[in-house]
Amino acid sequence: MLIERLYRIFTSLRLTVVLLGFAIVLVFCGTIAQVEMGLYRAQHEFFRSYLVLWQVPGLGLKLPLPGGYTVGGLLLINLIAAHLRYYRPGWKKIGIVLIHLGLVMLIVGQYATDKLAVESYMSIREGEASNYSESNSRFELAIVDTSDPLRDRVVSVPAHLLGEREVISHPELPFTLRVRRYHANSSLAAAPAEGYEEVQAEHAAGQRLWWTPKPHETEMNRRDMPSALLEISGPQGAPGEQFVSAFLTRPNVVIAGGRRFELSLRPQRYYKPFSLQLLDFRFDRYPGTEIPKNFSSRVRILHPGVGEREVVIRMNEPLRYGGETFFQADWDKRDEKGTVLQVVRNPSWLTPYLACVIVSLGLVLQFMIHLVGYISKRRSA
């Protein structure tokens, strides 16, 4: 029967060997692809995907390969199915059970990390405080209603939706946005250049601009800089076209429905229920050199309803607070009076540690069971 045949396939050792072979090939091809794609894009396309079309260098041939999620998922099914098929109850097999359980946790934990983990950065100057961090690779169209002098109302649209949707609306906005053109990566120029088109829309640069689309960045120290041409329209007339870009630091101002709005294409923000105030930043160097020895940030946590406390964040000594981890990552190189903290939210961060403990315990128990049995047989002989 088909079901029995599939059952034998998914519980076979041959499938395990084939999948491990595909994993080796995937790592090899992904490593080669980093030269053209860059590290992060190669990770996404080869290991955080279900299917890969690998462009073989120099041959112009696209080779289909199972992605990391496919290989990992099939290994997980193979591991569980084989265990259920061959496992025989008994205390002597407790080590095998723990080893398999730990391996399952490793695979599931890695998948959960890929899907749930969020990495961002928080920049703070000495004496100032911040209650949000910003993504290093994702952008958002922020529409800020500044009509209320006491607080701002923010509507944000992930930048990738500008390339997927023609019209964007929200109940909080008295107008709709029609996306005329969107470039996930672009370049701006202050003078005419070959391949560049003049921006024929309102913007906040205060000078004439020219823009052009660019291919995705592959270098680790660079990122895509999106730009978009939007048409804003409402029941009381059309405020006109607006040009927004990640290169522009000042927002566009739009008056609609008797309210004042600021539009900008900025790094995606992650707001916190608390603030971090930078009290002091220290940058220590090895004597007589410019080589960093240590840099640290003394911050005050301001959490309404919870209280305040001071902590020092150092290299290899992060702050864990509010379900997030704050690492000392960089500093403001203008005058060394500001810090840059890497903020990581990973709900499954304990999974690999727990999995390794379970696997280690299983290995020790299985070894001790066989050792005790071997010693008993030697004594009885």
State whether 33 and 69 are in the same domain: yes
State whether 264 and 162 are in the same domain: yes
State whether 97 and 195 are in the same domain: no
pLDDT for 363? 92
The total of structural domains in the chain comes to: 3
Crossing angle of helices 68-86 and 2-10, in 10° steps, is 100
pLDDT in tens, 235-255: 665 568 899 999 998 999 888
C-alpha to C-alpha distance for 50 and 76, rounded to whole angstroms:
14
State whether 159 and 184 are in the same domain: yes
Task: Among 251, 270, 289, identify where a domain stops.
Answer: 270
Tell me how crowded residue 159 is: count the other CB atoms within 10 A of its CB. Answer: 23
State whether 332 and 374 are in the same domain: no
State whether 266 and 276 are in the same domain: no
Q: Where are the beta strands (DSSP E) in 197-247?
A: 197-198, 210-213, 227-234, 237-245
State whether 247 and 310 are in the same domain: no
pLDDT for 275? 94
Which of 79-88, 159-168, 181-190 is modeled with the greatest confidence?
181-190
Comparing 21-25, 58-62, 122-126, 260-264, which segment has the lowest mean pLDDT?
58-62
pLDDT in tens, 269-280: 999 999 999 999
Angle at 204 between CA 202 and CA 210, to 5 degrees: 65
- Average pLDDT of 129-144? 92
pLDDT in tens, 10-68: 888 888 899 999 999 999 988 888 877 777 778 888 888 899 888 877 777 788 889 89
Task: Among 220, 244, 270, identify where a domain stops.
Answer: 270
State whether 293 and 265 are in the same domain: no
pLDDT in tens, 74-102: 999 998 888 888 777 777 788 888 988 99
The band of 298, judged by pLDDT with boundaries at 50, 70 and 90, is: very high
- Edge-to-edge strands, sheet with 210-213: 186-189, 210-213, 197-198
pLDDT over 70, % of the chain: 98
State whether 340 and 362 are in the same domain: no
- Domain that residue 321 falls in: 119-130+271-345
- Edge-to-edge strands, sheet with 227-234: 167-168, 176-183, 227-234, 237-245
The band of 335, judged by pLDDT with boundaries at 50, 70 and 90, is: confident
- Average pLDDT of 365-379? 82
State whether 174 and 194 are in the same domain: yes
State whether 359 and 279 are in the same domain: no
pLDDT for 121? 95
State whether 192 and 266 are in the same domain: yes
Task: Among 236, 270, 304, identify where a domain stops.
Answer: 270
pLDDT for 239? 66
Q: Is the pLDDT of residue 135 over 70?
A: yes
pLDDT for 238? 54
